[in-house]
Amino acid sequence: MTTRRLSAFLDALAAGRRPRPFHADPEDVEMLRVAIALRAARPGDAMPDENFVAELHKQLAEDLSPSEPTNVRPLKMRRSRAALVAVAAGLALVGGTAAVSEIANTTTVQQSTTAVPQGQALRTASFQSPTGQVVGQIVLYHGHTSWVYMNVDLPHSNGPVKCELHLANGEVVAAGTVQLHDGSGEFSQRIHMDAGGARGATLYDSSGAVVASAIFI
Amino acid sequence: MPSDPPKTSGERGVTHLRVVDTDSYTDWESVYRDNVERLYRLMYARVGNRADAEDLTSEVFRTALGPLRLASSKGEVRSYLLTTAQTVLASHWRRTLGAPVTTIDPESAMASLAEPSGTEEPSDAPQRARKILAALPERYRRILELRFLEACSIKEAAQAMGVSVSNAKVLQHRALRMAAKAGLEVGQ
């Protein structure tokens, strides 16, 4: 029941505990937004704990140390996909056009310069519009099973946007259709192909016009 | 996004450009030291609890630092961290409540990231809280103050207001609903 779970969420928030997840309806969301805004204003709580800052520094040092590759700490599984999308988004900013990364193993984020082991790998690229704006990201996973994930943000657009993958051998493969609502959409699905052979991706609107493209280097 | 055109004000021909810090970081540790507090505060203001704010801050750094190019300017690095934070926060809400309860606005968040670390009240959270509370009748305002600003349990809040626990819960619910319906801009 939403009301009871909403109350439990509010109780946790007021007490400074981690609230438990539940499926919130739109009215819940509005109320939670207010509660969070109030809770965030409580004096003294907005600064990070010194132990947290020190511990995270230590963990990152282990993660990023090139001399100790065996100490790379795995991310929790539930975070891995979001993390990869964030990598793609970030790379688009730092790397400029056609930012790309290959990251080995879904449970571990490593430096982009790390060699990619054969077999299982993730590849990410940013979609760019014809005018050069970054309008989304695409993530390909190729391993025992392969899947594609993408998110697209095209303001003022609605409806289906079709994605095609361009393979190194010249083939073009349909990767799925993103439904845009208020300009945004995302989807993921399994694909039956060697994702490692993908060289690029193109998005088309319902009229067949190219709205964005991405290049895997 | 980096390629977005600069925002233009209502005044014709006036364009506001953001000042970009062109200095660079020397190593990942300087990136971390300079931004960990700011990012934590950013996340805390959007989730309202320490545990989630710490998790999300960790996730931003774990995700961002690996592929980071140190040759980029500080401004670009902060934009990169901010974009990562946006995605991490959106994913958090999708995972926990199925809806984007709060978001990160790149323009205003960029300004807060550029503020010096160590400022005691860097965010506009107190101001937003005052605005919310000012829009409510006395009893609604009091129950929300007790619960979210003074950290009272529902039982303690009920005692302080001289009502039953059930009544306190109803008051809290109605107060939050009224504040939400007032359409106050509290999401950022």
- pLDDT score for B21: 54
Phi, psi of A171 (to 5 degrees): -70, 150
Whether residue A95 sits in one domain with residue A25: no
- pLDDT score for A155: 80
- pLDDT score for A89: 43
B177 touching A (Cβ < 8 Å): yes
Measured between alpha carbons, how far is A183 from A212 in angstroms, rounded to an integer? 14
| pLDDT higher at A204 or B140 | B140
Which of helix, strand or coil describes residue B104? coil
| pLDDT higher at A101 or B155 | B155
| Residues contacting B64, CB < 8 A, separation 6+ | A86, A87, A90, B80, B81, B84
- pLDDT score for A145: 65
Min CA distance, A137 vs chain B (Å)?
11
- pLDDT score for A66: 59
| pLDDT higher at A64 or A50 | A50
Does an H or E element contain A164, and which? Answer: strand A159-167
Q: Which domain, by its residues, includes B32?
A: 28-113
Confidence of residue A150 (pLDDT cuts 50, 70, 90): confident
Whether residue A161 sits in one domain with residue A98: yes
Give tens-digit pLDDT for A169-192: 777 888 888 888 888 888 777 777
Whether residue B164 sits in one domain with residue B100: no
Whether residue A32 sits in one domain with residue A118: no
Q: Which domain, by its residues, includes A33?
A: 2-39
Whether residue A109 sits in one domain with residue A12: no
Whether residue B85 sits in one domain with residue B158: no
Residues in chain B predicted with pLDDT less than 50, given as ranges, are 1-20, 119-121, 187-188
Inside any domain, residue A137: yes
- pLDDT score for B115: 62
Residues of A in contact with B184 (CB under 8 A): 34
**CB-based contact A138:A201 (threshold 8 Å):** yes
Whether residue A171 sits in one domain with residue A103: yes
Whether residue B176 sits in one domain with residue B129: yes
Inside any domain, residue B120: no
Whether residue B173 sits in one domain with residue B102: no
Whether residue B93 sits in one domain with residue B69: yes
Confidence of residue A58 (pLDDT cuts 50, 70, 90): very high
Please give the tally of structural domains in chain A.
2
Q: pLDDT above 70 covers what percent of chain A?
A: 70
- pLDDT score for A111: 29
- pLDDT score for A31: 94
Residues of A in contact with B181 (CB under 8 A): 30
Whether residue B106 sits in one domain with residue B84: yes
Interface touch B83/A14, C-beta < 8 Å: no
Whether residue A100 sits in one domain with residue A199: yes
Whether residue B131 sits in one domain with residue B105: no
ipTM above 0.90, yes or no: no
B32 touching A (Cβ < 8 Å): yes
Please give the tally of structural domains in chain B.
2
Inside any domain, residue A173: yes
Burial class from Cβ neighbours inside 10 Å (0-12, 13-18, 19+) for residue A130 reads: exposed
Inside any domain, residue B15: no
Interface touch B44/A45, C-beta < 8 Å: yes
Would you say residue A112 has pLDDT above 80? Answer: no
Whether residue B150 sits in one domain with residue B100: no
Whether residue A179 sits in one domain with residue A116: yes
Q: Is the pTM of this model over 0.90?
A: no
